[in-house]
């Protein structure tokens, strides 16, 4: 379990520099990260569901769907930032093996 926590929090390798101390001092605890992930993911799912329900409203339904569904997707993707950290998340998203999928997903939003 500790290995999983280290991998997801980006601390799989030890950094001998002073940067590691700064990161440790400003990072969230594991419990706070999980709570943030759950809250952000739930908000994302709720926005996506609300957008799907608002699709059937005459005239403005399509616009409301697009706004809420987009916000839901962004919140759901953003929820993983709590687990891995923003820098590691962006590095993984733009790895050569994931670059096409990331680009297609971002353009689709």
Closest CA to 36 of 94, 78, 1, 68: 78
Query: What's residue 89's pLDDT?
Result: 87
Entry pTM: 0.68
Positions in the chain short of pLDDT 70: 1-26
36 and 9 Cβ atoms separated by less than 8 Å: no
Query: What's residue 13's pLDDT?
Result: 56
Task: Give CA–CA dist 66/81, Å, rounded.
Answer: 23
């Amino acid at each position: 379990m500790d290995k999983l926590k280290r991998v997801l929090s980006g601390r799989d390798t030890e950094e001998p520099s002073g940067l590691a101390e700064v990161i440790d001092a400003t990072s969230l605890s594991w419990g706070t990260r999980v709570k943030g992930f759950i809250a952000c993911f739930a908000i994302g799912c709720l926005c996506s569901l609300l957008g799907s329900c608002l699709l059937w409203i005459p005239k403005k339904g399509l616009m409301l769907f697009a706004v809420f569904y987009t916000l839901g997707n962004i919140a759901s993707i953003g929820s993983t930032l709590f687990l891995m950290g923003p820098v590691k998340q962006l590095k993984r998203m733009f790895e050569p093996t994931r670059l096409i999928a990331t680009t297609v997903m971002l353009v689709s939003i």
